[in-house]
């Protein structure tokens, strides 16, 4: 799962690495405004990655909960049928 997640987010990872390289390439000669723009861009990329991971986890959890709710309802229906069949048999 981690490998698949890494492969899906490979473009974002490359962008994050590129921003780090921009900062290093700019070095001491770069002005504060340029560094602030690069840091802002990097922060937005990190926020995007974080939100993508969160949405993936939340959607998976909601899917599992939905399936579990359907299973529970079916289990209760079957239990009610079993009780009715036992009453008829008695």
Q: What is the 3-state secondary structure (H, E, C) of 7-61?
A: HHCHHHHHHHHHHHHHHHHHHHHCCHHHHHHHHHHHHHHHHHHHHHHHHHHHHHH
75 token code pair? 């289990």
Domain that holds residue 8: 2-89
Q: Write down the pLDDT at residue 29.
A: 56
Q: Structurally, how many domains does the chain consist of?
A: 1
Q: Write down the pLDDT at residue 73.
A: 97
pLDDT along the chain (90 residues), means of 10: 76 78 66 76 83 88 96 97 94
Q: Write down the pLDDT at residue 69.
A: 97
pTM above 0.95, yes or no: no
User: Residue 3 is inside which H or E element, if any?
Assistant: helix 2-8
């Amino acid at each position: 799962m981690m490998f698949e997640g890494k492969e899906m987010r490979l473009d974002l990872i490359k962008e994050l690495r590129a921003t780090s390289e921009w900062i290093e390439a700019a070095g001491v000669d770069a002005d504060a405004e340029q560094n602030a723009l690069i840091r802002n861009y990097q922060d937005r990329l990190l926020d995007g990655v974080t939100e993508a991971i969160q949405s993936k986890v939340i959607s998976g959890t909601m899917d599992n909960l939905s399936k579990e709710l359907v299973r529970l309802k079916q289990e209760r229906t079957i239990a009610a049928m079993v009780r009715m069949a036992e009453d008829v048999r008695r």
